[in-house]
């Protein structure tokens, strides 16, 4: 059974994203964080790497614990 509202939902999402662009680009294209330079971008990239390493590690440990519990 197909969801009938899917095309309307996708259209509304695309329209809202299209209309949000001018609001985000205000203030000379400066983002929510403010002025960014290379150091800020580099630190954000390092933060992303650390986040994903921790996420994969924690999810792997959780899966190991659940598998061990299932075997018992």
14-26 pLDDT, tens digit per residue, is 988 888 777 666 6
Q: What is the pLDDT of residue 2?
A: 64
pLDDT of amino acid 8: 85
Give residue 72's pLDDT: 87
Domains of the chain: which residue ranges?
A: 6-28+35-71
User: Rounded distance, CA 35 to CA 40, Å?
Assistant: 9
pTM of this prediction exceeds 0.95: no
How far apart, in Å, are the Cα atoms of 69 and each of 60, 61, 63?
14, 12, 10
All residues at 6 or more sequence positions from 33 whose CB lies less than 8 Å from its CB, including other chains = 40
- Supply the DSSP string of 9-69, one letter for each residue: HHHHHHHHHHHHHHHHTTTTT--SS-S--HHHHHHHHHHHHHHHHHHHHHHHHHHHHHHHH
End-to-end CA distance of the chain: 40
pLDDT digits 0-9 by tens, 40-72:
999 999 999 999 999 999 999 999 999 998 898
pLDDT score, position 26: 63
């Amino acid at each position: 059974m197909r969801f009938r509202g899917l095309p309307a939902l996708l259209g509304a999402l695309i329209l809202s994203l299209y209309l949000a662009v001018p609001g985000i680009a205000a203030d000379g294209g400066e983002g929510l964080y403010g002025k960014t330079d290379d150091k800020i971008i580099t630190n954000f990239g390092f933060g992303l790497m650390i986040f994903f390493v921790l996420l994969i590690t924690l999810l792997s440990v959780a899966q190991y614990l659940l598998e061990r519990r299932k075997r018992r």
